[in-house]
Amino acid sequence: MTETDLFLTKSSQLEEFCKEKGYFSKADLMEYGLRNYYLRSDRTVREWVAESKVKHLSKDECLLRGFKGKMAYYEWIK
């Protein structure tokens, strides 16, 4: 974490994390939330899905990209 990261909101820090990852799972979000004391991270991403910042991947899209299991996967699109 850099010095300027201290001035960003937790939502902005999560946004940077999601942009860097591109594709991420709910487990990634939960791990990020625990490491950064942001337990609302999953709920924030679901709000972004409603705002069309993030796309929730269907089961077919997950299989196409090689993701396995029943985990929820997301793609950063904005």
Q: Are 29 and 42 in contact (CB under 8 A)?
A: yes
- Paired tokens of 76: 């950063």
Mean pLDDT of 14-30: 95
Give the pLDDT of residue 49.
95
Phi, psi for residue 72 in degrees, rounded to 5:
-80, 130
How many beta carbons lie within 10 A of that of residue 68, not counting itself? Answer: 7
Q: What is the pLDDT of residues 38-75, one digit of tens each?
A: 999 999 999 999 999 999 999 999 999 999 888 999 99
pLDDT band for 5, please (50, 70, 90 cuts): low
Place of tokens 């974490």: 1
Domains, the chain, ranges and CATH? 9-76 (1.10.10)
CA distance 37 to 50: 24
44-53 pLDDT tens trace: 999 999 999 9
